[in-house]
Amino acid sequence: MAQMIKVVKSKYPYEETVKRIKERTEELGWSVIGEHDLAEKVGVKLTIIEVCNKDFAKRALEKPENRWISAFMPCHFSVVENPDGVYVYSMNMGAFAGMVPPELGEVLSEVAKVDEEIIGSIL
């Protein structure tokens, strides 16, 4: 089974990585709905960027029996400064798509493509 968490090393410094993820998200028609700088709380440089797209969210939540998926919303990108560089962690939506009902899997597969576009901005 594919890893549930994707790990990507950024070629940019920490602040530039955060900036690029947010900019690319907006360029793709998604919204940055939250940004949490947790450095003071956890003792390491860590920013969690929450992103969402209302059309994808609406499709995922249409059927009441699928609304459990809301526990995984919005999509998160965690930007962390490690000793050997800056890393971005995110849920592997492509792998998760195969574990859910087909109508949700279709939405998550599309989200996975957008996630790849966003991550591509730091490679």
| 87/81 Cα distance (integer angstroms) | 6
Chain segment 92-108, per-residue pLDDT in tens? 998 989 889 888 999 99
Contacts of 78 (CB under 8 A, 6+ apart): 46, 47, 48, 49, 88, 89, 90
Query: What residue type is 78 in one-letter code?
Result: S
Beta bridge partners of 79: 47, 88
| 16/78 Cα distance (integer angstroms) | 14
Chain segment 9-30, per-residue pLDDT in tens? 999 999 999 999 999 999 999 9
Beta bridge partners of 90: 6, 77
Has this prediction a pTM greater than 0.85? yes
Chain segment 48-67, per-residue pLDDT in tens? 999 999 999 999 999 999 99
